[in-house]
Amino acid sequence: MFILLAAEAGSAAPISLQDIFANAQSYLLTHGPDLVVNVVAAIAIFVIGRWVASVAVRLLNNVFERAKLDETLAKFLCRIAYTLILLFVAMAALDRLGVNTTSFAAIVAAAGLAIGLALQGSLANFAAGVMIILFRPFKAGDFIEAGGTTGVVEEIHIFHTMMRTGDNVQMIVPNNAITSGNISNYSAKPTRRIDLVVGCGYGDNLHNVKQFLNELVDRDPRVLAEPAPKVAVSELGDNSVNFVVRPWVANADYWKVRWDLIEAIKVGFDQHGFNIPFPQRDVHLHQVVLDDPQRKTPPASRAFQPGLGLPNQLEKTALDSVQASSAPAVATAEACERQDAADPIAAEHDTGSQDTGSHDTGSRDTGSREAGRVRPRRVG
């Protein structure tokens, strides 16, 4: 502050530490009393303002209790009131110190707008929490189904609701997810109706089955007399005759009575010989019998091929048959070769008598010799 005052005075020379202390002393001597008064007044305004905010919130809370307002909503409104009062007190204290509160208010408004745009999802949960607190579709301790979760409500906050499932898992559900869908409150009414569908066979006596179900419901002391329980034939199904069993019980006894009735119906049906139809599947097995079970025909892939590991006797028999069929042709070829070697003049005469077909004769001779050499082949 003192440096700024020296700069405003037009001093272009560098300011030393001694000049700063001199300016500070001069400023305190001139404005010291007023500054001290403003600081003390600002502190007093802030302290008294906090005390007034606390007293106001306490009085507001008493009013809410007399009006039997929801505890969560009352606490939320008291916190908002306390925050607003403190904001006004802080602005009054700053104004007393000489701070321009108009620019400060503009900064706060701009910051609030930016925060609101950045926290759209949170603001949606905030609005949903206000709606839940105001309209109170459920309260702490209720068993509800909402937001894709089923459980007991433990706490309702302004942004989320805490629930406990049946297997003792704590679930934190955003309030926007709760208010954007259906809410099923199973604890809203003191009584509930159990809906059971019981099927019996078409061969059973319907009068006896209905009488047994009525007696079973009437024997349970937890079943309410009003509204009266209902047992009636509801449907002639594809495989069974279906009865509806609808007793009314207290909300706290719903699951116990339901489980006990299902067990008692099964035991009673077995004792009275009533049938409970259920899906069945028959499996028929067909056995294919060959004409000659003693005949064993090897598959085509097991035909004889040397070196494929066939039985020794079968491989030996196949080789003998191939060699026997090729033996006469080999003997004929060898005899022709011996005759040519013994009479070369006759061979030349025969060749010369046919000048034009010498090459063809040789070709036929060669072919005949080659034809006589029969090679064994694989039987595939």
Among 240, 254, 247, 256, smallest CA distance to 198 is for 240
pLDDT for 371 beyond 50: no
As a whole-number percent, the residues of the chain with pLDDT over 90 amount to: 34
Which structural domain, as residue segments, surrounds residue 217? Answer: 202-272
In whole angstroms, what is the distance from residue 163 CA to residue 173 CA? 7
Same domain, 12 and 40: yes
- Residues 225-244 have pLDDT tens digits of 999 999 999 999 988 999 99
Q: Which residues are CB-contacts of 343 (< 8 A; sequence separation ≥ 6)?
A: none
In whole angstroms, what is the distance from residue 177 CA to residue 160 CA? 9
What is the reported pLDDT for 191? 94
In whole angstroms, what is the distance from residue 372 CA to residue 333 CA? 5
- Residues 33-68 have pLDDT tens digits of 777 777 888 888 889 988 998 999 999 888 888 887
Among 90, 186, 96, 172, smallest CA distance to 137 is for 186
CA-based torsion, 214, 216, 218, 223: positive or negative = negative
The answer to whether position 165 is within a domain reads yes
What is the reported pLDDT for 325? 53
The answer to whether position 110 is within a domain reads yes
Three-class DSSP category at 337: helix
Question: What is the CATH number for 69?
Answer: 1.10.287.1260
pLDDT for 365 beyond 80: no
pLDDT for 353 beyond 50: no
Q: Who has greater pLDDT, 29 or 114?
A: 114
Q: What are the φ/ψ torsions at residue 142 (nearest 5 degrees)?
A: -80, 150
The answer to whether position 278 is within a domain reads no
In whole angstroms, what is the distance from residue 372 CA to residue 375 CA? 9
Same domain, 337 and 259: no
Same domain, 106 and 136: no
Question: What is the CATH number for 223?
Answer: 3.30.70.100
Q: Who has greater pLDDT, 18 or 124?
A: 124
Same domain, 91 and 63: yes
Three-class DSSP category at 18: helix
Report CA-CA distances (Å) from 271 to 3, 143, 201, 371: 104, 37, 15, 95
What is the reported pLDDT for 13? 52
The mean pLDDT of 356-363, rounded to a whole number, is 42
In whole angstroms, what is the distance from residue 348 CA to residue 367 CA? 18
CA-based torsion, 338, 343, 349, 352: positive or negative = positive
pLDDT for 278 beyond 70: yes
pLDDT for 81 beyond 50: yes
Checking DSSP bridges between strand 149-156 and strand 143-146, what pairing results, if any? antiparallel
Q: Residue 297's pLDDT band (boundaries 50, 70, 90)?
A: low
Neighbour order of strands in the sheet with 160-164 = 170-174, 160-164, 149-156, 143-146, 184-185
Same domain, 12 and 113: yes
The answer to whether position 377 is within a domain reads no
- Residues 95-153 have pLDDT tens digits of 877 777 777 777 777 877 787 777 777 888 888 988 888 888 998 899 999 999 999 99
The answer to whether position 283 is within a domain reads no
Q: What is the mean pLDDT of the chain?
A: 76
The answer to whether position 95 is within a domain reads yes
- Residues 246-255 have pLDDT tens digits of 999 999 999 9
What is the reported pLDDT for 280? 76
How many structural domains comprise the chain? 4
pLDDT for 329 beyond 70: no
Report CA-CA distances (Å) from 208 to 198, 203, 270, 376: 14, 12, 14, 90
Q: Residue 20's pLDDT band (boundaries 50, 70, 90)?
A: confident
What is the reported pLDDT for 316? 54
What is the reported pLDDT for 149? 92
Of 70, 87, 118, the position where a domain reaches its end is 118
Same domain, 6 and 107: yes
Residue entry with tokens 């020296």 = 6
What is the reported pLDDT for 241? 94
